[in-house]
Chain A
Amino acid sequence: MALDQSFVGRSYPPTDPYEVGREKIREFAEAVGDANPAYTDPEAAKALGHPDVIAPPTFVFAITFKAAGEVVADPQLGLDYSRVVHGDQRFVHRRPVRAGDRLTVTSTIESIKSLAGNDILDVRGEVHDEAGEHVVTAWTKLVARAAEEA
């Protein structure tokens, strides 16, 4: 069944702040095998003009996806989350995420489409720091594959 188009444009309340820690950034950089010192050495990061270690460009996804998860789990929306796959992902950074940031995410449903029985949902996550400054916007396309005929 097609999803309710009235959800297009709906925004959800900002998430509780996520505090970005140096060790969490280090853990992520190690998991992707990236030895860039800007992720682990505050002095190296400062030499590049950053106030503290910065996070890899895709790090913020863990935060925005959790926020988007609250949207797709909205029972009123009625998306079958067990059939959801990740279609597209895009980030636009005002500045890199860095250690010490306390980030909140405001999610908005940008579009809902139905294509060959698949439900396609575009969610935009606006990420702000504690001072209210915009840090990054994440666009996530989620595809709920059509259920097979019984």
Chain B
Amino acid sequence: MTAKIAYADVEVGTELPAQSFPVTRATLVQYAGASGDFNPIHWNEKFAKDVGLPDVIAHGMFTMAEAIRVVTDWVGDPGAVVEYGVRFTKPVVVPNDDKGATIEVSAKVAAKLDDDTVRVDLTATSAGQKVLGMSRAVVRLA
């Protein structure tokens, strides 16, 4: 496996390039098909509101998949991610307009571990609210 980033070149506090990920209703329909998660809270506004949500919400697993891109784009080889966990704290609400929602993700190296691995802590927000908690990845560097 070939990570682009060398273990020796990072320190605790090293920031990864932050990214913004757009999400529209079309994105969610596409993700539902690819993932096999057809829960109507992710595409049916009436259903979502009937169960007490403000509107259609993104799949938590979609948000989790977007957030780790900050790490995989940084390290180059997605196979370098050995561990990845999140807590789903708030839903990403996706309005039915031209813009949809945006997921903002930043990350930094929180600890240097054994075997050339580092722990990266991620922060993901949408509409000013934290949407993932305890979002952490362990990545093997070169």
Residues of A within 8 A of B (CB): 24, 27-28, 30-34, 36, 38-39, 47-50, 54, 56-58, 61-62, 65-66, 85-93, 95-96, 139
Q: Is B130 an interface residue (CB 8 A)?
A: no
Q: Are A91 and B84 in contact (CB under 8 A)?
A: yes
Main secondary structure of the interface of A (DSSP, over half): mixed
Chain B interface bracket (under 10, 10 to 19, 20 to 34, 35 or more): 35 or more
Question: Of B31, B33, B78, B88, which is within 8 A of A88 by CB?
Answer: B88
Q: Are B1 and A30 in contact (CB under 8 A)?
A: no
Q: Are B1 and A48 in contact (CB under 8 A)?
A: yes
- In the complex the two chains form, what is the Cα distance from A31 to B78 in whole Å? 16
Q: Are A66 and B36 in contact (CB under 8 A)?
A: yes
- In the complex the two chains form, what is the Cα distance from A58 to B137 in whole Å? 12
Q: Are A39 and B78 in contact (CB under 8 A)?
A: yes
Residues of B within 8 A of A (CB): 1-2, 21, 27, 30-31, 33-37, 60-62, 64-66, 68-69, 72-73, 76-79, 81-88, 134, 137
- In the complex the two chains form, what is the Cα distance from A33 to B65 in whole Å? 10
- In the complex the two chains form, what is the Cα distance from A28 to B35 in whole Å? 7
Q: Can you report 20 A-B residue pairs in the complex whose CB atoms are below 8 A from each other?
A: A24-B34, A28-B34, A31-B30, A31-B35, A33-B21, A38-B78, A47-B2, A48-B76, A48-B77, A57-B72, A85-B88, A86-B61, A87-B88, A88-B87, A89-B64, A89-B88, A90-B85, A91-B84, A96-B78, A96-B81
CB proximity of B28 to chain A, nearest CB, Å:
9
Chain B residues near A28 (CB-CB < 8 A):
34-35
- In the complex the two chains form, what is the Cα distance from A32 to B27 in whole Å? 8
